[in-house]
Amino acid sequence: EKEPVTVLVTGAAGQIGYAIVPMIARGAMLGPDQPVILHMLDIEPAAESLNGVKMELIDAAFPLLRGVVATTDVHEACKGVNIAVMVGGFPRKEGMERKDVMSKNVSIYKAQASALEKNAAADVKVLVVANPANTNALILKEFAPSIPEKNITCLTRLDHNRALGQISEKLNVHVGDVKNVIIWGNHSSTQYPDVNHATVTTSGGEKPVRELVANDQWLNTEFITTVQQRGAAIIKARKLSSALSAASSACDHIRDWVLGTPKGSWVSMGVYSDGSYGIQPGLVYSFPVTCEKGQWSIVQGLKIDEFSRGKLDATAEELIEEKSLAHSCLN
Ligand code: NAX
Nearest to 202, CA basis, from 178, 222, 220:
178
- Structure confidence by residue, pLDDT tens digits, 273-291: 999 999 999 999 999 999 9
| Predicted ipTM of the assembly | 0.99
Task: Determine which residue's CA is closest to atom 22 belonging to ligand 1.
Answer: 88
Question: Is residue 262 predicted with pLDDT exceeding 80?
Answer: yes
Q: Is the pLDDT of residue 93 over 90?
A: no
125-128 and 83-86 strand pairing: parallel
Q: Is 227 in the pocket of ligand 1 (CB under 6 A)?
A: no
In which band, very low, low, confident or very high, does the pLDDT at 91 lie, cut at 50, 70 and 90? Answer: confident
Q: Is 46 in the pocket of ligand 1 (CB under 6 A)?
A: yes
Ligand 1 in contact with 27 (CB < 6 A)?
A: no
CB proximity list for 11: less than 8 A, separation 6 or greater: 17, 41, 42, 86, 87, 88, 89, 130
The rounded Å distance from CA 151 to ligand 1 centre is 21
Residue 331 pLDDT > 80: no
Report the alpha-carbon distance of residue 276 to residue 85 in Å, rounded: 26
pLDDT the model gives residue 100? 87
Catalytic residue positions, numbered = 187
Residue 230 in contact with ligand 1 by CB distance below 6 A: no
Least confident residue range of 85-99, 181-195, 228-242: 85-99
Which residues, including other chains, have CB under 8 Å from residue 280's CB and lie 6 or more apart?
273, 316, 320
pTM exceeding 0.95: yes
Ligand 1 atom showing the smallest separation from residue 155 Cα:
41
